[in-house]
A and B are shown apart, each in its own frame.
Chain A
C-alpha cells in the first residue's frame, strides 16, 4: 500500500525545462510545490567539470545522461497489424533523465515557430484550396497564435540568454537575420556566436544562390549574461562537447543553470529525486486528478502525493502513458479517427545531408559550439510555394560543425572503405577539411501514426510500454527528395574539392541510427475536446486541475527543434494558471 503524504498545492512530474518553469512560476504565485524527478540530482558544479565531462565514450556513445532503457522504453511497429517490438537499446532518439532532463544535454538550437506553423491547416487551406490537404494528413491548427505566444517566446529567450540576430524586429526586415521569422518585439538577448570557417562557406554559398542565411539562434551564450532570474551564464568556450554533454562553462542554457538554483533556494519548493511516478489518481466523476503515486527507487517505498494542481512535465512518452493508464481523455482509435490521447504522434524527417571536402581549407571541426551553424529558412514551412510539389512543409538547412569528436565524427569521401589502410589514409587526410550540410525536415501528422499501450511488453514498474505505430509517409519521402535537390545545389555552390553523396531519407523508419530527439504529439492541444487532449492553456479537457507540458501537445512537428516552443508554452500555461485558474479553479475553456 502506498503511504499517503500531506497534500500540497501543486505537484510537478518531471524536473526538466517545463517542470522547472512551472514550479518556479507557481511558487512565485505563492503555492507550495513538490517536484518529482525520477533521476538523480545533477548540478553542473559537481557533475559537469573538466576533465571528466569531456569523455566522448561515456557521454556521447554509452549514453550516460539518457533514459535507462532497461527500465523504460517504447515498442515500435511500422503499421497497425504488425507486432511491435521494444527498442532495446536507445538509438533513433535519446530522452534525458535526471534533474534538468534533456535540457542539460541538448545542443541549444532555440526556435520560434513561423506564424503559419501556428495555424497550419487553415493556412494551407487558404493558400492551396480546401481539397489540398490529403484526408490521411491529420494536421491541425495550433490553438495559440504566434502573436499570442510572442511575449512568452521572448520570455523564454531571455531566460536562456539566446544568442542570435533578429530578422524581423517589430516589422522591420533585417538582412543577416532570419527574414522569414515572425515579428519579434525584441532582438535576441545576446549577439550571435562567432561564425565558423564552415559557416563562412555556407553563408557565401547560400547568398550566391539568392537564399537568406542567418546564424543559428543558440542557447550557447556568446558572452557572459545574467538572466531575469538573476542567474549568470558564462560565455561559450567552443569546446566541441555540447550535445549529449553537460556544459562545463555554464554557457549552455539548462534548467540547472538558468532556473534551478533560484528554485531550490525557495522554501516553497521541495525537490524529490529518485521519485518515479507510477500513476495519476484520477477522480473521473469530479474531473480532477487527486494525487500522484510514485515509487522512491532508493527504498522501493510507494507514496501517494495528493495535490490541488498537477503538472505533467515528463517526456512525451510518459505524458501519454500517464494519461492513458489513468483513463484521462479518450484513447485515439486510428480506425474510426475518434479519440484524442495518442493521436498525431510525429517525429522529424532528418538524415538529409551532404558532406563537403576542401583540400585547402582548415576547418578545425573540434572548435565548435552546439548551435553554431549558418542556416537558411528559404525551404522551411510554407516559405516557398508548394503548388504542384505534391507535399507540404519543409526544413531548416544548416552548414557547419558542432564537434570534431572522432568516435562519431570523421567524414571520408564517397567510396572510401570503412576500415584498413585506405580508410586510415582518407580519414587522416580529410578529418580537418570537411563539414556537413544537413536538413531537418518537418513531419506532418498521419492518421495511422499514433501511440497506444503495448499489449505485451512492460516497464520496470510493471506498466505497459508505450507502443509507437509509426512510419514515414508519402509527404515525408517527397519532401526528402526535394531537400536532396537543395542540398545538391548548396554543396555545388561551395565548389568543394570533393562533394559527398547526397543522403536523402528513404526507406522505413529505423530505430537504430540517431535521427532526432524531437518526438511530438500524443496529448495534442486543440480547440475540439473530441480530438485533442488539452485545451489552448494546456489544461486537460477531462481534468481541470491537470496541465500537460512539452512537445506532446504539438498537433504536428515543424522542422524546428521544439525546445523554444516548449519553453514559451510553459510560460504561456503558467500565466493562465496564475492569472486565471488559481482565482477560479475550473475549465479555462468551455467545450
Chain B
C-alpha cells in the first residue's frame, strides 16, 4: 500500500483542481435563477486545492469517498461536485465524531444476523462500517474492472454505484446494498446539513433547491410570501454567531 499512497494523493490533488475549476465556472456564469440573491457569496468562494487534513479516513478511503460523492453529486449548472461541496470533508469529520464511534448505538452481543426489518445488527461502528465497506468495494472493483473504484472512469464509477445500490455488486462478506444506502445517506447529509460540519460548502446544497437556511422567525413573512418565492441569501449557524 505504501507505494500506492503517494501517486493516489497526487492524483487526488489534480482531481481537486479540476473540480474547483468547474465550481468557479459555475459561479461566474450562472448569475440569475438559482443564485439570484447570492452573487457576492458565490464569487467569494475560495479556489483552494490544498489537500484536506484527515481525521478518520486514510488516503485510500478518502480517494474512494471523493470518487463516490463526485458521482452522487456531479458538477453541473446546479452545483459544484460533491467533494467541492465539502462532502468528503463532512464524511471524514462525521466518522471521527462520537456518532462515527458508535454513540447512541446499542452494541452488546450476541450479534446475530436478523431479518432486514430488525434493522442494523452488526457490531461495527459507522467508522468501522465504512472502513470495511470501502475495502470490500475496492476489492470488488478490482475484480470487476481491474482497478480500485477511484481509478475508474466516471461512466464505470456510475455503473459500479448502481450495481451496489441494487445489491448486484457481490462484495466479499459485506452487503453492497447496505453499504450504498449508508453512503448515499451520509452524502445527502453532507450536501444539506449546516456548513458548520464541513459539507454544504458555500451553502451549495441549500442554494440548489432554494432552502433559505436558518430563520430567526418567519412570523412576519408568512403571509407576505404566501404563494410567492422567498429568495434570499441562505443563512447558516455561523451567520448568526
CB neighbours of A432 from chain B (8 A):
209-210, 229
Given the complex of chains A and B, what is the CA–CA distance between A87 and B227 in angstroms?
42
CB neighbours of A90 from chain B (8 A):
104
B169-214 residues with Cβ-Cβ distance < 8 A to A are: 184, 187-189, 192-194, 196-197, 205-206, 208-212, 214
Write out, one digit per residue, whether chain B residues 219-231 have a CB within 8 A of any chain A CB (1) or not (0): 1011101111110
CB neighbours of B108 from chain A (8 A):
86, 457-458
CB neighbours of B223 from chain A (8 A):
194
A348-374 residues with Cβ-Cβ distance < 8 A to B are: 361-362, 364, 366-367
Given the complex of chains A and B, what is the CA–CA distance between A92 and B223 in angstroms?
35
Which of B105, B197, B237 is within 8 Å of A52, CB to CB?
Answer: B237
Given the complex of chains A and B, what is the CA–CA distance between A427 and B120 in angstroms?
29
Given the complex of chains A and B, what is the CA–CA distance between A512 and B121 in angstroms?
11
A367-B222 contact given A407-B189, A511-B117, CB 8 Å threshold: yes
Across the interface, name the chain A residue whose C-beta is closest to B197: A57
Residue B114, interface by CB 8 Å? yes
Determine the interface band of chain A, counting residues with CB < 8 A from chain B.
Answer: 35 or more
Residue A38, interface by CB 8 Å? no
A237-B219 contact given A85-B114, A420-B71, CB 8 Å threshold: yes
Determine the interface band of chain B, counting residues with CB < 8 A from chain A.
Answer: 35 or more
CB neighbours of A511 from chain B (8 A):
117-119
Given the complex of chains A and B, what is the CA–CA distance between A405 and B193 in angstroms?
9
Given the complex of chains A and B, what is the CA–CA distance between A364 and B225 in angstroms?
8
Query: How many residue pairs, one in A and one in B, have C-beta atoms under 8 Å apart?
Result: 176
Q: Is B112 in contact with A83, judged by CB distance below 8 angstroms?
A: yes
Write out, one digit per residue, whether chain A residues 78-93 have a CB within 8 A of any chain B CB (1) or not (0): 1000010111111100
Residue B143, interface by CB 8 Å? no
Write out, one digit per residue, whether chain B residues 122-166 have a CB within 8 A of any chain A CB (1) or not (0): 000000000000000000000000000000000000100100010
A70-B237 contact given A91-B119, A362-B228, CB 8 Å threshold: no
Q: Is A418 in contact with B106, judged by CB distance below 8 angstroms?
A: no
Q: Which of B14-22, B39-47, B55-63, B74-82 contacts A (4 or more CB under 8 A)?
A: B74-82
Main secondary structure of the interface of A (DSSP, over half): loop
CB neighbours of B184 from chain A (8 A):
418-419
User: Nearest Cβ distance between residue A196 and chain B, in whole angstroms?
Assistant: 8
Q: Is B192 in contact with A406, judged by CB distance below 8 angstroms?
A: yes
Given the complex of chains A and B, what is the CA–CA distance between A77 and B222 in angstroms?
46
Q: Is B106 in contact with A87, judged by CB distance below 8 angstroms?
A: yes
User: Nearest Cβ distance between residue A420 and chain B, in whole angstroms?
Assistant: 6
Which of B187, B197, B219, B226 is within 8 Å of A197, CB to CB?
Answer: B226
CB neighbours of B230 from chain A (8 A):
362, 364, 367
Q: Is B107 in contact with A88, judged by CB distance below 8 angstroms?
A: yes
Q: Is B106 in contact with A88, judged by CB distance below 8 angstroms?
A: yes
User: Nearest Cβ distance between residue A375 and chain B, in whole angstroms?
Assistant: 20
A391-440 residues with Cβ-Cβ distance < 8 A to B are: 404-407, 410, 418-421, 424-425, 427-428, 431-432
A419-B73 contact given A249-B217, A361-B227, A364-B225, CB 8 Å threshold: yes
Q: Which of A61-69, A98-106, A519-527 contacts B (4 or more CB under 8 A)?
A: A61-69
Across the interface, name the chain A residue whose C-beta is closest to B237: A51
CB neighbours of B34 from chain A (8 A):
428
B81-122 residues with Cβ-Cβ distance < 8 A to A are: 99, 102-108, 110, 112, 114-121
Residue A166, interface by CB 8 Å? no
Q: Is B117 in contact with A512, judged by CB distance below 8 angstroms?
A: yes
Given the complex of chains A and B, what is the CA–CA distance between A63 and B225 in angstroms?
31
Given the complex of chains A and B, what is the CA–CA distance between A235 and B230 in angstroms?
22
Most buried by A among B165, B192, B205, B229: B192
A73-B106 contact given A194-B222, A424-B73, CB 8 Å threshold: yes
CB neighbours of B196 from chain A (8 A):
55
User: Nearest Cβ distance between residue A103 and chain B, in whole angstroms?
Assistant: 20
CB neighbours of B219 from chain A (8 A):
235-238
Q: Is A367 in contact with B121, judged by CB distance below 8 angstroms?
A: no
Across the interface, name the chain B residue whose C-beta is closest to A84: B118
Given the complex of chains A and B, what is the CA–CA distance between A55 and B187 in angstroms?
17
Residue A316, interface by CB 8 Å? no
Which of A91, A406, A457, A508 is within 8 Å of B205, CB to CB?
Answer: A406
Most buried by B among A51, A404, A405: A51
Which of A50, A194, A420, A457 is within 8 Å of B74, CB to CB?
Answer: A420
Residue A499, interface by CB 8 Å? no
Given the complex of chains A and B, what is the CA–CA distance between A66 and B99 in angstroms?
14
CB neighbours of B121 from chain A (8 A):
85, 88
Q: Is B208 in contact with A51, judged by CB distance below 8 angstroms?
A: no
Across the interface, name the chain B residue whose C-beta is closest to A51: B240
Could you jot down 24 A-B contacts, CB within 8 Å?
A: A54-B237, A56-B192, A57-B194, A69-B104, A69-B106, A76-B118, A85-B112, A86-B106, A88-B107, A89-B119, A194-B222, A197-B227, A239-B215, A367-B218, A367-B225, A367-B230, A406-B205, A407-B193, A428-B209, A432-B209, A432-B210, A456-B110, A508-B117, A510-B117
Closest 4 CB pairs of A and B: A51-B240, A237-B217, A431-B209, A57-B193
Given A406-B209, A419-B71, A431-B209: 18 more A-B contacts, CB < 8 Å: A51-B237, A51-B239, A54-B215, A55-B196, A69-B104, A70-B103, A76-B118, A86-B106, A87-B119, A238-B217, A238-B222, A407-B189, A407-B193, A428-B208, A431-B211, A509-B117, A510-B116, A511-B119
- The interface of chain A, by Cβ under 8 A from chain B, is 50-52, 54-57, 61-63, 66, 68-70, 73, 76-78, 83, 85-91, 194, 197, 235-240, 249, 361-362, 364, 366-367, 404-407, 410, 418-421, 424-425, 427-428, 431-432, 456-458, 507-512
- The interface of chain B, by Cβ under 8 A from chain A, is 34, 71-74, 76, 78-79, 99, 102-108, 110, 112, 114-121, 158, 161, 165, 184, 187-189, 192-194, 196-197, 205-206, 208-212, 214-219, 221-223, 225-230, 236-237, 239-241
